[in-house]
């Protein structure tokens, strides 16, 4: 029997910004093991008197707290990003408006210069 994952098409693996995940997890696990050995003066073993289910539950609560914190922080950053996009769009509109004004002023200056030349020629 094949799993659902085996039936799904493979994702595009040609992007330049991809990072292999499992080596990072192995590295994290090794660091975590070293930390545990230092803190608890040995490896994690079975039948050590700990309440594994309670420990797991507490860890999952910590996970939920950190995930919620991340969600809030990302929402704030996304709101700031949207505000910046709005500001940039408004600045772009203002710049375009100023470009139009500059073109109109150039045209008026050009017409005034021509009129001035015409007046000088008339006065000569």
pLDDT at 53: 96
Q: What is the per-residue pLDDT across 70-114, written as a single tens digit (0 to 9) for each? A: 999 999 999 999 999 999 999 999 999 999 999 999 999 999 999
Q: What is the per-residue pLDDT across 41-76, written as a single tens digit (0 to 9) for each? A: 999 999 999 999 999 999 999 999 999 999 999 999
pLDDT at 38: 97
Nearest-5° Cα angle at 93, 87 to 95: 100
As a whole number, the mean pLDDT across the chain is 92
Provide the residue ranges of all domains of the chain, joining segments of one domain with +.
21-46
Higher pLDDT, 3 or 87: 87
Q: Is the separation of the CB atoms in 97 and 90 below 8 Å? A: no
């Amino acid at each position: 029997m094949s799993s659902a994952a085996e039936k799904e098409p493979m994702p595009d693996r040609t992007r330049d910004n991809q990072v292999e995940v499992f080596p990072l997890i192995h590295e994290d696990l090794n660091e975590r093991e070293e930390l545990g050995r230092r803190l608890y003066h040995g490896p994690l073993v079975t039948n050590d008197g700990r309440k594994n289910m309670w420990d797991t539950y507490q860890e999952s609560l910590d996970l939920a707290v950190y995930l919620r914190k991340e969600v809030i922080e990302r929402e704030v950053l996304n709101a700031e990003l949207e505000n910046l996009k709005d500001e940039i769009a408004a600045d772009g509109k203002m710049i375009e408006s100023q470009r139009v004004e500059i073109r109109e002023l150039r045209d008026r200056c050009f017409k005034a210069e021509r009129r001035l030349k015409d007046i000088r020629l008339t006065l000569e």
